[in-house]
Amino acid sequence: MDRPLVIGVMGGGNVDPATMENAYELGRLVAGQDWCLLNGGRDSGVMEASAKGACENGGMTIGILPDDTSQAASPYIRIPICTGMGMARNCINVLSSDVVVACPGGAGTLSEIALALKAGKPVITMGFKLNELPGIGSGTSEIFYAGTPQEVIKTIKKIVQKGNK
């Protein structure tokens, strides 16, 4: 079977309206490529917006929940994966994604960027740049910057063509 590319979209649970719009648009574009959108699954912030964008445009959405039930899942998540593992689910988020896109967020998002680098996954930051992080450069993966959702899609295509998937 030809599997769809899985795009992990990470970001804060409480973010500004522009970030919400970008996350929605990113979800919409991911669905348009017939890629699968994967995120933390909750009904807030970047998780909700990106799932909504994908779901309303016919895309598959997977949510890796920290909870042991799907009660707090976004209604736009088609398949909730209930880990019951709290923030340890952040590891599953990045390991299950072919490419990790980081939207603005807090410490949880930072942990996912760091775990993705540790795991050798390509990371794209959308709308913000990371400078002088400890560990950057020492990993096996790269950090890419994209200003817009459209640029994220282009960057993903470049990464996949280079065989980084």
Residues of this chain that bind a copy of itself (CB under 8 A) = 1, 3-4, 6, 36, 55, 60, 62, 64, 68-70, 75-88, 90-92, 95-96, 104-111, 113-115, 117-119, 128, 130-136, 138-139
Where does the chain show beta strands of DSSP type E? 6-10, 36-39, 61-65, 79-82, 99-102, 123-126, 143-146
CA distance 43 to 51: 9
CB of 21 to a copy of itself, least distance (A): 19
- Is 55 or 146 the residue whose CB approaches a copy of itself more closely? 55
CA distance 70 to 161: 36
- Is 27 or 104 the residue whose CB approaches a copy of itself more closely? 104
CB of 38 to a copy of itself, least distance (A): 8
CB of 116 to a copy of itself, least distance (A): 8
Does residue 31 sit in helix, strand or coil?
A: helix
How far from the centroid of its chain's Cα atoms is residue 48's Cα? 12
